[in-house]
């Protein structure tokens, strides 16, 4: 994920958790992801009531998130849905996943209905893959910072 961290930092999308520290194994919240996506879209996220307030408002106004639970960790299926909605918002072709069969994942039937199309797109585009030995998706597992920047990096390269 080192290249992904450098890319996201250079783009001004993420910052470290301290000077010279990224903390790839720490979780990210829904508000953090909303703010990162707002920055990716070029929105000004500075000066809100909280550090994530403007990013969350942007995400709600643009249909990326419903804005609930901004301080809660984001799960893999929530992240996939947010990335999918962001891609749609930006006019990216998300049809690549329409025929992607996610039933090969042992836990495919535990994916929430709202996230199925998003996961099909993310898996089909090579943005998100399975966990462990690759046989599960782990939709309810909390995403870590290293995973999220990797997914963002892959999404940026898929859109290019």
**Complete DSSP assignment for 16-45:** -SBTTB--TTSB-BHHHHHHHHHHHTT---
Is this prediction's pTM over 0.85? yes
Residue 75, strand partner residues: 142
Q: What is the pLDDT of residue 112?
A: 97
**Residue 93 or 12, more confident:** 93
Q: Would you list the DSSP string of 102-113?
A: GGGSTTGGGS-G
Higher pLDDT, 23 or 103: 103
Question: What's residue 16's pLDDT?
Answer: 64
pLDDT tens, residue by residue, 96-116: 877 788 888 999 999 999 999
Query: Mean pLDDT of all residues in the chain?
Result: 89
pLDDT of residue 160: 58
Asked if residue 127 has pLDDT above 70, the reply is: yes
At residue 118, the pLDDT reads: 94
């Amino acid at each position: 994920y080192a290249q992904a961290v450098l890319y996201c930092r250079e783009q001004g999308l993420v910052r470290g958790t301290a000077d010279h520290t990224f903390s790839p194994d720490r979780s990210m919240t829904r508000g953090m992801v909303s703010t990162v996506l707002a920055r990716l879209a070029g929105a000004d996220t500075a000066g809100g009531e909280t550090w994530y307030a403007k990013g969350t408002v942007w995400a709600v106004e643009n249909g990326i998130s419903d804005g609930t639970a901004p301080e809660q960790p984001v799960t893999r299926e929530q992240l996939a849905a947010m990335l999918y909605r962001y891609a749609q918002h930006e006019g990216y072709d998300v049809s690549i996943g329409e025929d992607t069969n996610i039933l090969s994942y042992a836990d495919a039937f535990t994916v929430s209905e709202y996230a199925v199309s998003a996961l099909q797109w993310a898996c089909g585009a090579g943005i998100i893959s399975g966990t462990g030995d690759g046989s599960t998706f782990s939709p309810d597992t909390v995403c870590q910072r290293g995973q999220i920047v990797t997914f963002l990096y892959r999404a940026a390269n898929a859109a290019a």
